[in-house]
Amino acid sequence: MPAVTSSATTELRGKPFRGVFLRELHGYLITPVAWLFAVIFLLAAGAFTFYLGAFFERGQADLDPFFRFHPWLYLVLVPALAMRLWAEERRSGTLELLLTLPIRTWQAVLAKFLAAWVYIGCALALTFPMWLTVNYLGHPDNGVILASYIGSFLMAGAYLAISECLSVLTRSQVIAFILALAVCFLFLLAGDPLIQQPLLALGSNRVADALSDLSLLAHFQAIARGVLDFADVAYFLLTIVAWLAANVLILDVRRGG
C-alpha cells in the first residue's frame, strides 16, 4: 500500500498500530487494484452463481452455488490484493524507514493484515443482495448461510496471511503474486486426489493424512454445510496466526540484519 511519508511519520510515532492500520485502509480507498478487487469479486461471484452455479435452474432456496466458487475467487484475487503489502515497501525503500520507527514488528504486520481483512470483509458484505434474493424466492436455512459467510471470511483471512508473508520475500509484486498463488493453491487442494494419490502410491500414508488435514477447501466446505465446528474455525485461526508469526520472524531478521 502507499509508502510511509514524512507527514505520516508523526502519527505512526504517536499511535503506531492505529497509524499503520489507517494508512493501509485509506490506501485501499485510493488504489485502483483495491477497487478492482471489489468490482471483480462482486461481478464474478454473481456471474458464477447464476451461470455456472445454475442458481435458478436448481430450484432450491440456498446459496450453495454462491459460496461454492469463493475458494477459487479468493485464490486469484487475495494474492493480487496482498502482493503490494510488503513488496511495495521493499521496492520503494520505505520498509527500512518503517522498521526504524518506534513500532513493534508484530504491530506493523497485524495492522497491515487487519486493514486488508477489513477491506475484504466489506467487499464480502456487499454481496448481501444475494441473501435478500434467496430469502425473497424461498425459505432458506439462514443459519447455514451465516455460517458460510463466516467460513468465507475466515478462508479469505487465511489466504491473506499467506500472501502477506510471502510478499515480504521479494521486491517484485509479480513474484509475490505468483508465490502466493502457488502456495495458496497447494493449501487449497491439499486433500484433493491430485495431491493425495501420488503420496499414497509412494506409501506415504501419514504424510497424505497430514496434508489432508491442512486442506483449506475441506475445512471451508465443512463450515459451509452449516456446522461451525471448533476444529474448522481453529484451523483457519491457527493458519492465520502461523503465517503472521512467520511474517514477523522474517521482518525481525531483516531488522536485526
Check pLDDT > 70 for residue 5.
no
Of 171, 167, 207, the residue nearest 190 (C-alpha): 207
Q: Rounded distance, CA 217 to CA 71, Å? A: 7
Mean pLDDT of all residues belonging to the chain: 85
Q: How crowded is the C-beta side of 4, counted as CA atoms within 13 Å?
A: 24
**Residue 4 burial (10 A CB sphere; 0-12, 13-18, 19+):** buried
Residue 8: the pLDDT is 47
For residue 241, pLDDT beyond 90: yes
Q: Has residue 208 got a pLDDT over 80? A: no
pLDDT exceeds cutoff 70 at 247: yes
In the prediction, which pLDDT does 202 show? 61
For residues 61-79, give the mean pLDDT: 93
Most confident segment among 3-12, 62-71, 90-99: 62-71
pTM: 0.89
* 98 vs 7: CA distance, rounded Å: 13
Query: What average pLDDT does range 81-89 have in this prediction?
Result: 87
pLDDT in the model for residue 1:
43
Query: Looking at residue 129, what is its pLDDT?
Result: 93
Q: Cell numbers at residue 101, please?
A: 520507527
